Amino acid sequence: MVKEHLLDKFRKRRIGIDETVFCKDKNFQQITNITSELNKNKTTLFTKLKPEIYDRIETKFKKYFFYDKTSQVAMYGKKPVVGKVSKIAIICAGTSDLPVVLETKYTLLNYGENSDIFPDLGVAGLWRIQKKLKTILKYKITIVVAGMDGALASVLGGLIPMPLIAVPTSTGYGTAYEGKTALNSMLTSCAPGVTVVNIDNGYGAACAAIRILNVSKS
């Protein structure tokens, strides 16, 4: 039988980021096989792990899991040691973006980085951004999560100096095209230096922030 998955045990040594188990399109048996090879004395992140598959995981493994149903993120093994100071602000347009926001937050926690969430700051109510702006300016990195027209990334990109990582989400009606409109809007932002990851990719945004922090530590 051909082995379906080879764990990349030295990825963190190479790039500063451990291998994460991307669970979308993996079946229950594949998830179980991977889990059985993991070291429970270290932390391993799972993303896009559907509740119906998590519910079937055997007790001997499940006792080592933390699982969040909203974001479909799980952490297996050792609980990460998280710093008390939040260096990263996660700003979202609306509560519909919360699954992606939480995927971002839990990925950061997996790497020991705390973060603060600023919910419901969409551009339909600019006064809400203005009210929080002084607080947001205190962080080292911002991650902006928005669907619809994705305009929040451009608005904040013109107001704050720190690295801004934009995450388009699939939130929106009709011509939002499941996030494609927000993605194109963020990619064509006139705010210089905005970094954009793929649609609904909170994990990718968090990893980008970790790379930036790793460089600042060196």
Q: CA–CA separation, 92 vs 83, rounded Å?
A: 23
Interval 43-72: pLDDT, tens = 899 999 999 999 988 888 888 999 999 999
Sorted by where each begins, the domain ranges of the chain are 11-77, 86-217
- Answer yes or no: is pLDDT of 84 > 90: no
* Rounded CA Rg of the chain: 18
CATH of 86-217, one of 3.40.50.300, 3.40.50.720, 3.30.1280.10, 3.40.50.1970: 3.40.50.1970
**E strands along the chain, which residues?**
21-22, 43-47, 65-68, 73-77, 86-92, 114-118, 141-146, 164-168, 195-196
pLDDT of residue 4: 60
Half-sphere exposure of 118 (CA within 13 A, CB side): 26
Q: What is the pLDDT of residue 1?
A: 45
Residues 103-112 pLDDT 10s: 999 999 999 9
pLDDT at 47: 94
Predicted confidence at residue 207, as pLDDT, reads 94
- pLDDT score, position 107: 95
Question: Can you give the pLDDT at residue 5?
Answer: 64
Give kind and range of the element (H or E) at residue 207.
helix 202-217
Other Cβ atoms closer than 10 A to 202: 27
For the stretch 120-161, pLDDT in tens is 888 888 889 999 999 999 999 999 999 988 899 999 999 999
Predicted pLDDT of residue 69: 94
Residue labelled with tokens 């980008």? 208
Q: What is the per-residue pLDDT across 6-27, written as a single tens digit (0 to 9) for each? A: 676 777 778 778 888 899 988 9
Q: Looking at residue 35, what is its pLDDT?
A: 87
Q: How many CA atoms lie within 13 A of 198 on its CB side?
A: 4
Q: For residue range 159-205, what is the model confidence (pLDDT) as tens digits? A: 999 999 999 999 989 999 999 999 999 999 999 999 999 999 999 99
